[in-house]
Amino acid sequence: MSRNSGLSQASRDPKWVQWILIGITVGFVTLLLILPLGVIFWEAFRKGLKTFTIALSDRNARSAIGLTLLATAICVPLNMVFGLAAAWATTKYSFPGKSLLISIIDLPFAISPVIAGLMLILLYGIHGWFGGVLQGFGLQVIFAVPGVVLATIFVTVPFVARELIPVMQEQGSEQEWAAISLGASAWQTFTKVTLPNIFFPLLYGVLLCTARAMGEFGAVSVVSSNIRGLTNTIPLQIDALYNDYNAPAAFALASILASLSILTLLAKSWLESRIEHRSKESEEIQ
Amino acid sequence: MSAKKVTQMRRLPGFGLTLGFTLFYVTLMIVIPIAALLFKASSISMQELVETFKTPRVQASLRLTFGASLLAATINTFFGFIVAWTLVRYRFVGRRLMDSLIDLPFAMPTAVSGIALMAIYAPTGIVGKQFLAWGIKTAISPLGVLIALIFIGFPFAVRTMQPAIEELELEAEQASASLGASRFQTFLRVTLPSLIPAALTGFTLALARALGEYGSVIFIAGNLPMRTEIASLLIVSRLDENDVVGACAIAVVMLAATFVLLLTIQGIQWRIERKTGRN
């Protein structure tokens, strides 16, 4: 297992260099990453479990949790279906403009969340392209729940597609062709052949999408009116509590999201090892 | 199925459905919003543009955003290289834990990172207190902005350099050593040059992320006009003041800067591919 012993003399650094670099790494990671993580839980539980439970049973905190779950529940399935469709369309066929389409799918990652929120205001605000018409039907988007949902969708569009496209590109379509020629329907081919092959990357993409959807702050804060108990998501509620000098309650909510991100990291290393394992297996079969 | 039918079906089923839905979704969710911003920006007159960027407050904020982002990306590239090198080449207790923690700034919601950084670097925080004893303010100062941007860009630097270090050809190092080069000479002349493209990509990605960052910065920055106000925050305050034109002007400049950076990455990647393709 140890690769270091596998390194030849020429590629092995002197012991003292190793010690210094390991020291810098451990120090830097501890100061930059472990310390903030520790501080969140320390601040959340410092005043005892009671302050923690009171903070979470607060009406506005509950409503923020509810809105975050609602936005995530709408956003993740939509982006998952989109990711599957986009990956299928861009890896199973060739058509002009395909690489442009893939670049456009990646764009939300490059756009600052605040600018994303601004774009939605230009579209769905009262003076926006669609805002006036929708207002006529009595549907308010900006400074209301639909705006929060749209902002969440925008920042998470690429997650599933981006995980699936390289994997499906590599797998090719031979297995699908085999299934079709044996008489399977399109749907059967997709569910019985394609889906099992992309299960772990799909799960990974959905996981990343969920984590980001629950934690988005910048885009959502621009389009939300920040009304407590109404259009506040968990990150917005954290912001509001912190600005009220109610740090213990802010950290209590933050510790929930921080636990979720630790869970994401754990699941990520597990899924990555699964994906590696699978690709090794399929190499052996071939 | 007859042979004739198979030759007719040159494509797997689902082309129209999947491509149609993809185009619809991409247009509605991505293309139209971007078009709205570009359209609005194109309607801004030259005079309005000049007026927006002439104000000292906007200039100070752009200087801070670009300056701190460049500095943070540089620091991240340096430490990112050391961390990536250590994680790939050395074996030590806690290596796997360190490795999986690198992605924390990706996984953590920015607002959560923001209040955590503020709690650490505030005058009463565990690190902030130490620095204050030396007369250095870590929070509510440009230094605070820098710290947050280092935090948020760090994974980009490490994660782009890690695979490059893994794929280094060890034979080249051996050849260099057998020709009498010392370990340090080998590193400087053989190893480091082949890592430059990855380092540049990591630097650019960290820079692009820093330029648009909002949530993790605003708490620790304190948002003092002229001193610690980043461009993203200025966009938000312009919107709060109902100055949509001003917000769009700043947004378009930041967006253009990001796109230039991303095109640079494409160029670097294209050069790498051409180089490796030739070998």
Q: What is the pLDDT of residues B59-87, one digit of tens each?
A: 999 999 999 999 999 999 999 999 999 99
- With a CB cutoff of 8 Å and minimum separation 6, the contacts of B109 are A214, A215, A216, A217, A234, A235, A257, A261, B215
Give the start-to-end residue ranges of the domains of chain B: 45-166+175-278
ipTM over 0.85 threshold: yes
pLDDT for B275? 72
CA separation for the pair A235, A113 (Å, rounded): 14
B60 part of contact set with chain A, CB < 8 Å: no
Q: Taking CB atoms and an 8 Å cutoff, what residues of chain B touch A156?
A: none
pLDDT for A284? 62
Treating both helix axes as pointing N-terminal to C-terminal, what angle do B110-121 and A234-243 enclose, rounded to 10 degrees? 30
The correct CATH number of B45-166+175-278 out of 1.10.287.110, 1.10.1040.10, 1.10.3720.10, 3.20.20.70 is 1.10.3720.10
Say which residue the tokens 């302050």 belong to.
A51
- Assign domain A49-285 to a CATH class: mainly alpha
Whether A110 and B12 lie within 8 Å, measured CB to CB: no
Question: A257, A259, A137, A156: which is closest to A213 by C-alpha?
Answer: A156
- Name the burial class of residue B125, with classes exposed (0-12), middle (13-18) and buried (19+) by CB atoms within 10 angstroms of its CB: buried
pLDDT for A285? 59
Q: Compare CB distances from A25 to B25, B82, B113 and report the shortest one's residue.
A: B82
What's the gap in Å between the CA of A63 and the closest CA on chain B? Answer: 18
Residue A227 has pLDDT above 60, yes or no: yes
pLDDT for B262? 87
Taking 50 as the pLDDT cut, the residues of chain B under it are 1-8, 278-279
What's the gap in Å between the CA of B18 and the closest CA on chain A? Answer: 5
pLDDT for A269? 87
Cβ contact A257:A273 at 8 Å: no
B100 part of contact set with chain A, CB < 8 Å: yes
Cβ contact B126:B120 at 8 Å: yes
Condensed to tens digits (0 to 9), the pLDDT of residues A66-79 reads 999 999 999 999 99
Q: Compare CB distances from B18 to A39, A89, A265 and report the shortest one's residue.
A: A89
Whether B100 and A211 lie within 8 Å, measured CB to CB: no
CA distances from A84 to A191, A194, B33 (A): 12, 10, 22
The interface residues of chain B toward chain A in range 184-243, judged by CB-CB distance below 8 A, are 186, 208, 211-215, 219, 232, 235-236, 239
Interface test with chain B among A15, A19, A25, by most B beta carbons within 10 Å: A25
pLDDT for A177? 93
The whole-number average pLDDT for the span A9-22 is: 88
CA separation for the pair B98, B90 (Å, rounded): 12
CA separation for the pair B153, B103 (Å, rounded): 10
CA separation for the pair B208, B260 (Å, rounded): 9
Give the start-to-end residue ranges of the domains of chain A: 9-45, 49-285
Residue A9 has pLDDT above 80, yes or no: no
At CA A104, angle to CA A99 and CA A105, rounded to 5? 95
Condensed to tens digits (0 to 9), the pLDDT of residues A128-141 reads 889 888 988 988 89
The interface residues of chain B toward chain A in range 10-49, judged by CB-CB distance below 8 A, are 11-15, 17-19, 21-23, 25-26, 29-34, 36-37, 40
